[in-house]
């Protein structure tokens, strides 16, 4: 088991806090502060106990060291706005003179945010020297960076090895509870709903889930590779011909296990995205592409969803960005919300669908992670999670 934040007295301690503050920033303006607000409960808990907190995060993918467009300075400003009455200090480097000088001057109940961790090229390489420098910032390591736990980076994996006390923040505690522990012994029937554009993006989770669940429904662009593998015409819909063999093998395994493997039986088609005049059809003609699931498919999926006691959903049912092709995703969101099942949703577009459908308050858990969510659901061992368990023994 791992140690949770409330299981250790952090009062007056020096804490290094790894966060995921990787928010979209354009021309110095934050476009979506969701990841910042998600970190606030853990930050406030530490500050209310007079911890001296050195927080760190990455932002974007700077390639060769510091780059102004990837600075965390706008994030520090936003944190100060969200934490009125708290001194939020910003360091102009990660493990340089400015960072260590400001860290040593921190008073109890104050927060220091370091500059972008990826300005240090050793961060993504899992550099042990960088980890040793990070160790100097605190006596307690707290991680709440769920979006980064699948990376064996210096601040995520190497640094916590060096701390005697390693704790899971509130956000990561909840993610592990739902995506790992609850899904190891799910209440059954256990149903998976997967969408998105490409089969290739979902191979690990598909291969894992087909062994674990009691039913799968596939939609979105990825469904058309499966339909093609089954011998159906898909017109000009998204098709990964190199994935046909994989799709066939996954469907064969579902048949061997005797579980439902649902694919669209009707579609919302159009000649192109540039001419998005939707038509409902049971078949896709040679000059059209499918951009959403049709009403019969919605009903088919909803009937299976209704039986489930545990539901995992990742990826939209169609081209959710276009209003003409949004209905399938929104209707499935409502169907999921209407069940009494444990409902776990991850993936940016599916989360957006939940919000557009107005059902976010009826979802058991909405994951903040992208790749980390999928890998944990698939049962993969993630470096940033495994180190928590190792240190919790």
Q: What is the fold of 5-168?
A: Rossmann fold (3.40.50)
Q: 219-223, 257-261, 275-279, 324-328: lowest mean pLDDT where? A: 275-279
Neighbour-count burial for 187-202, b at 16+ CB within 10 Å, e otherwise:
eebbbbbbbbbebebb
Catalytic residue (choose from 60, 370, 371, 392): 371
Listed in order, strand segments (DSSP E) in the chain are: 14-18, 25-26, 29-30, 52-56, 88-90, 111-113, 140-143, 165-168, 190-194, 215-218, 261-262, 267-270, 279-281, 289-293, 310-314, 342-346, 365-366
Catalytic residue (choose from 198, 212, 306, 334): 198
% residues pLDDT > 70 (the chain): 99
Evaluate if residue 372 carries a pLDDT over 90: no
Q: 134-138, 196-200, 239-243: lowest mean pLDDT where? A: 196-200
176-377 CATH: 3.40.50.1260
**Domains 5-168 and 176-377 are alike in CATH topology:** yes
Evaluate if residue 205 carries a pLDDT over 70: yes
Place of tokens 């939020």: 88
321 pLDDT band (50/70/90 cuts)? confident
Q: Mean pLDDT, the chain, as a whole number?
A: 93
For residue 348, the model assigns a pLDDT of 63
389 pLDDT band (50/70/90 cuts)? very high
347 pLDDT band (50/70/90 cuts)? low
For residue 381, the model assigns a pLDDT of 87
- 3-state secondary structure (DSSP) of residue 142: strand
Q: Average pLDDT in the 153-175 region?
A: 97
For residue 377, the model assigns a pLDDT of 85
Q: State the helix-helix crossing angle for 327-337 and 295-307, rounded to 10 degrees.
A: 20
346 pLDDT band (50/70/90 cuts)? confident
CA angle 189, 351, 262 (to 5 degrees): 40
Catalytic residue (choose from 28, 65, 245, 348): 348
- 3-state secondary structure (DSSP) of residue 300: helix
Q: Average pLDDT in the 127-150 region?
A: 96
Q: Average pLDDT in the 17-46 region?
A: 93
For residue 320, the model assigns a pLDDT of 86
Evaluate if residue 94 carries a pLDDT over 90: yes
Active site residue 35: yes
Task: Report the C-alpha gap between 63 and 144 in whole angstroms.
Answer: 24
Q: Average pLDDT in the 254-275 region?
A: 94
Evaluate if residue 371 carries a pLDDT over 80: no
For residue 350, the model assigns a pLDDT of 75
For residue 69, the model assigns a pLDDT of 93
Active site residue 198: yes
Domain boundaries defined on the chain: 5-168, 176-377
Catalytic residue (choose from 3, 14, 18, 35): 35
């Amino acid at each position: 088991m791992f140690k949770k934040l409330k299981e250790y007295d952090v009062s007056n301690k020096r804490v290094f806090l790894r966060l995921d503050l990787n928010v979209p920033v354009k021309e110095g303006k934050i476009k979506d502060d969701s990841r910042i607000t998600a970190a606030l409960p853990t930050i406030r808990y530490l500050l209310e106990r007079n911890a001296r907190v050195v927080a760190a995060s990455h932002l974007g993918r700077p390639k060769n060291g510091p780059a102004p467009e990837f600075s965390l300075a706008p994030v520090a400003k936003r944190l100060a706005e969200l934490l009125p009455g708290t001194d939020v200090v910003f360091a102009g480097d990660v493990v340089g003179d400015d960072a260590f000088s400001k860290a040593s001057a921190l008073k109890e109940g104050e927060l220091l945010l370091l500059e972008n961790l990826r300005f240090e090229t050793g961060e993504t390489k899992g550099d042990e020297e960088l980890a040793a420098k990070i160790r100097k910032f605190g006596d307690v390591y707290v991680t709440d960076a769920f979006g980064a736990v699948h990376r064996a980076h210096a601040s995520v994996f190497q640094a916590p090895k060096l701390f005697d006390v390693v704790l899971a923040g509130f956000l990561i505690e909840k993610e592990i509870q739902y995506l790992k522990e609850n899904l190891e012994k799910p209440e059954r029937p256990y149903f998976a709903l997967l969408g998105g554009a490409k089969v290739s993006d979902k191979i690990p989770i598909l291969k894992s889930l087909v062994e674990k669940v009691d039913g799968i429904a596939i939609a979105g662009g990825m469904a058309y590779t499966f339909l093609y593998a089954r011998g159906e015409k898909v017109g000009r819909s998204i098709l990964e011909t190199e994935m046909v063999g994989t799709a066939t093998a996954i469907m064969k395994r579902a048949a061997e296990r005797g579980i439902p493997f649902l694919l669209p039986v009707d579609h919302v088609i159009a000649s192109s995205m540039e001419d998005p005049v939707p038509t409902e059809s049971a078949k896709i003609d040679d000059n059209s592409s499918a951009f959403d699931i049709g009403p019969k498919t919605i009903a088919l999926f909803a009937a299976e969803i209704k039986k489930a006691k545990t539901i995992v959903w990742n990826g939209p049912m169609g081209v959710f960005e276009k209003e003409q092709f949004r209905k399938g995703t929104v209707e499935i969101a409502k169907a999921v919300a209407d069940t009494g099942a444990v409902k776990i949703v991850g993936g940016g577009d599916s989360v957006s669908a939940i919000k557009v459908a107005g059902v976010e308050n009826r979802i058991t858990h909405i994951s903040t992670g992208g790749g980390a969510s999928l890998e944990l659901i698939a049962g993969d061992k993630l470096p940033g999670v495994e180190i928590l368990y190792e240190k919790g023994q």
